[in-house]
Chains A and B, each alone.
Chain A
Amino acid sequence: MSQPILEARALAKLFGVTPVFSGVELKVGPGEGVLIIGRNGAGKSTLMKTLSGLIAPTSGQSLVCGQESRHLKTSNRRVGVLAHQSMLYPNLTARENLEFYGELYALPSPAASASQWLERMDLAAAAEKRVRTFSRGMEQRLAIARALLPEPDLLLLDEPFAALDRDGVALVTGLIKESIARRRAVLITAHAPLDLGGLQFTMLELVRGRLAAFGGEGRHERLRSLSAG
């Protein structure tokens, strides 16, 4: 296996004395995808934030391209994150939001990149509208464009299909396929198994703070309860 883009070693996180997850071991290489499934409140979002370096683990290590994600050199922060919150400024337009992030990432032409992504996400008609006026689905599309804008090596997507219509789901599935084809590492979290258009993702499950292979004994019961949840 080539050098993993994302690696977690005995990763654990406690809030006070309450464990969220522990002993998380994970490796995602270039062109590989991992899908982590868990119930609401299982700790998927906290795991995602810890992997991206946004919050510190209580113990263990989270490495991106061999560097601790918490202490990534500023020039090497090439992690695209889609979280529950869109990280978009409601009083800026869609174009202004993307251009702003393009400037932060020092893209050669933030305006051209913003136009390209607005076109790709089918948001060109709403480019000059403030994000405050967007529907939840439109905001989700723009948030995905924001995550992909700097062409990251690692893509962390927390519930990427939330609030998307059928066209949106197809669009985002296509982008995930393209990311895998471009040798990015992709990690997705969801509360139920996803149809990823035939992509071979390693499926893991976060249960009671432990990450385990999805399936095996009790799989059908879990699937049923996950679908119900």
Chain B
Amino acid sequence: MGGFGALLRKDLKLELRTGDSTITLVALSMLILLVLVLAFNPTQGRSGDLAAGALWVALIFAGMLGSSRALVAERENSCILGLLLSPIDCAHIYAAKLAAAFIFMMVAEAASIILLMLFFNLEFGMRLARLVPTVMLGGLGFSAVSTLLATIASRTRAGDLLLPVLVVPVFVPALIAGVKASAAALAGATMFEMAGWLKIMIAFDVLFVVAGYLLFDYVVVED
């Protein structure tokens, strides 16, 4: 896994240096939350449901932007060919790209949760703490799907336009489970009560992480 470590360190170094993905993701999340707060009045009850919905809208939009950005560095100067020529296994390239996309998404989500607390008058406590596993599982699933599909989309002429059309329908099962689990967490449900939704998210994550790990070799190489 030496190649995995080198690739992830390189991606994090590039991100720290340019801030391309994280700054854009945080800014977009902020903007989406602000629009939703202005559109709906969170003080008039049901703020938990609204907050859950707003969080997942921000996650999806920011995630799509982040996943397409993650491959831009590899397409520039055809660096992806350098990776494919090296002894590193394609599955490790996928794992490193997935890990980088997940880390960038979590940074954006951490910022989103802080903003959510401010905009929706949520108190810091166990309810928010219960949101963490839901967001992490959702972020992992979305990163897994979008990294794989962004690689396919990047080889087409209208890749950026194609990505949302491909990713969102595939992510729907995890999205429904994520919104329901988040709303339950913010309404004060226990982890036991949320378990059903979380299990769906875990199954989705396992399925797509394994699928990406096995299929990346076929989607990244040119025909």
B-contacting 9-mer, from A36-44, A100-108, A161-169, A185-193: A100-108
A-contacting 9-mer, from B43-51, B86-94, B160-168: B86-94
Which residues of chain B from 81 to 109 have a CB within 8 Å of any chain A CB?
A: 81-89
Residue of B nearest to A80 (CB): B85
CB distance from B126 to the nearest CB of A (A): 42
Write out, one digit per residue, whether chain B residues 65-85 have a CB within 8 A of any chain A CB (1) or not (0).
000000001001111011111
Q: Are A89 and B78 within 8 A (Cβ)?
A: no
Q: Are A87 and B81 within 8 A (Cβ)?
A: yes
Q: Are B3 and A88 within 8 A (Cβ)?
A: no
List residues of chain B with CB within 8 A of the CB of A79.
Answer: 85
B223 within 8 A of A: yes
Q: Are B13 and A92 within 8 A (Cβ)?
A: yes
A56 within 8 A of B: yes
A96 within 8 A of B: yes
Q: Are A106 and B87 within 8 A (Cβ)?
A: yes
The listed residue (A76, A77, A88) touching B85 by CB distance below 8 A is A77
Residue of B nearest to A74 (CB): B87
List residues of chain A with CB within 8 A of the CB of B5.
Answer: 103
**Secondary structure class of chain B's binding surface, majority of residues:** helix
List residues of chain A with CB within 8 A of the CB of B78.
Answer: 83, 85-87
List residues of chain B with CB within 8 A of the CB of A54.
Answer: 81, 84-85, 221-222
B2 within 8 A of A: yes
Which residues of chain B from 1 to 56 have a CB within 8 Å of any chain A CB?
A: 2-3, 5-7, 10, 13-14, 17-18
List residues of chain B with CB within 8 A of the CB of A75.
Answer: 87
Q: Are B85 and A85 within 8 A (Cβ)?
A: no
Write out, one digit per residue, whether chain A residues 26-59 have a CB within 8 A of any chain B CB (1) or not (0).
0000000000000000000000010010111000
Q: Are A91 and B6 within 8 A (Cβ)?
A: no
Which residues of chain B from 183 to 205 have a CB within 8 Å of any chain A CB?
A: none
Given contacts A100-B10, A103-B2, contact A87 B79 (CB under 8 A): yes
Given contacts A54-B81, A90-B76, contact A104 B86 (CB under 8 A): yes
- A105 and B73 alpha carbons, distance in the complex (Å): 20
Which residues of chain A from 65 to 122 have a CB within 8 Å of any chain B CB?
A: 74-77, 79, 81, 83, 85-92, 96, 100-101, 103-106
CB distance from A73 to the nearest CB of B (A): 9
- A95 and B48 alpha carbons, distance in the complex (Å): 50
CB distance from A225 to the nearest CB of B (A): 30
A141 within 8 A of B: no
Q: Which residues of A contact B (CB under 8 A)?
A: 49, 52, 54-56, 74-77, 79, 81, 83, 85-92, 96, 100-101, 103-106, 146, 150
The 5 closest A-B pairs by CB, nearest first: A87-B82, A85-B78, A103-B6, A104-B86, A55-B222
